[in-house]
Structure 1
Amino acid sequence: MSPHGAVLNALTIDVEDWYHVCGEEERGASLSPERRVRRNVELILDLLAEEGCMATFFMLGSVAEQEPELLPLIASAGHEIASHGYSHRLVPELGATAFREELRRTAGVIERQARVVPAGFRAPRWSLSRETPWAFDILAEEGYLYDSSLNPLPFVGDRLGARLPFRRGTSSGDLLELPPLVTGVSGFNLPTGGGWGLRFFPLPLIGATIEKLNRQGAPAVLYLHPRELDPFGPRLELAPLISFAVYGPRTDVRKRLRHLLRRFRFGTMYQLVEQWQSA
């Protein structure tokens, strides 16, 4: 099946290990020292190679240091490397000084290991918002071209936030904001673009949402985590509602991801930025 239309969408991967959920990193790491991120990233790389698709990997700096062969592996396949911060702490918890320090620390790891300078950022757990205007200024000051942290959902984002890419002005110039895909239903946004929602909601609904965006000339941004290719991997015991929000159905995302990669055009976030800059 050939990709639908001419619009380029973006596939993104938040490179975290299995225990980077809901602020439970320390507890998860203490429960099991097993690291599964490299194995699962390799599965993603194999799938992308088979489908001839490039993607953006938002790299957690601490994971890159723990797995020093991982970033070179991703970069050698031609994929974009962007920043996911260092510690996986929420940006408001960090504050401006520590946020800037984490950005620089992660950028330093990426430059040393992959010989590239990250152009994009995604906050752990979508923790940028209208309550953290200083963070966008810092991103621009540090040379970032785009952000993908504003999820238009309740609880983990801004339910009234924009669904389409937009320019965000800062004291140091514009950032391109690239929100993840959601599906609007009766004034409510469903998290169809990634995480448990990408595995839970009907595939025709997800496909129809991407197609609708592409007809408008807008890209869809999908995201996933390496643990979503690991349905039998370890998991933390969480409150039932939180557990569902984190894990959802423990099915392997590869089959439906492959279907979407074959139906639509996907590339990197930086390619979307290049299109924005040339427009």
Structure 2
Amino acid sequence: MALSPEEFVKRLDAISESDGVPYGRARLVFDEEQNHKQAILRYRGYLALSDAFKCFFLETVELVNTVSRPKVTAPLSEFYGIFVPRLAHGFQSLCGAERIAICGYPYHAYTLLRNTFDNLALTSAALQKIADFYSIEGITPGKPLDIAAMKRLRKDTEFEVRRKMTGSLSGLTQETRDELAQWDALFDFEVHGARLSLAGAKGWMKGREPLPILPRFEEEQFALFMNRYCEVGWMLHRLTPAIQSSDAPFPAAWMEKWRVLDDSFQITVNSLTKQLGKRIGAAIVELVNTKFPFNEHSTFPL
């Protein structure tokens, strides 16, 4: 049966009224999302760091577009055109994940950080010539397109980069490697099967509680997301200076902001070890300082 747009909407309106309120039950979700947002306001330090990083990244893009690019005279490497969109995608991924978490879905947001981390690790490896952007994308220059071969090359490259960035060939201490393996395994636990999320329904499974559907603030859940967000955000921050061209470095004021943010990320990440005794904080500090070895003076190296 063909319906006009008006008929299509009117039929849905008719089945969705609750106590005289159009789409009233859906508003339960919206109201609880707002309540969750209010609960997050207690994390002033996290919100300040996150928003300061957003401001800094946006300022960096403005400098590239308005100050840096007009001064660049030498042709940029073809790899620069691959790197910058990867950097922008990392920023957008962090922003998107955070919006989801703040609205009341921290485990869903947490899963997005895994892919962001993987992409940042590959990008850092390419900038250090541990791998190259071609192999990361599964491309072999000069060879015809072969989808199966591209998939194999991507997987092989990711496996090799993992070994050199966090695994047996990384040069990281054994304690750090063990912590990162657990960090990675917990991501897998949620990404593949939503096992952390499903554990929230155990009260309903035992007949003791209603089925949890609406967003509800749970400190442990949000803290898991918040900690991983800061860790992955720090990695992106470390890569950001590579957007500079050696022909047109950014001004001193930008470099000072980079240092303040970098120090703030390190303090936040390391607090898990210093204040709570959780070794993962120190492990991430070693990982970032060793495998993301960039600073405010870094320029695009390829």
- With the shorter chain as reference, the TM-score category is under 0.3
User: Of Structure 1 and Structure 2, which has the larger fraction of its residues in strand?
Assistant: 1
Q: For the pair shown, which has the larger CA radius of gyration, 1 or 2? A: 2
Task: Using CA pairs under 8 Å that are at least 6 residues apart, name the structure with larger relative contact order, 1 or 2.
Answer: 1
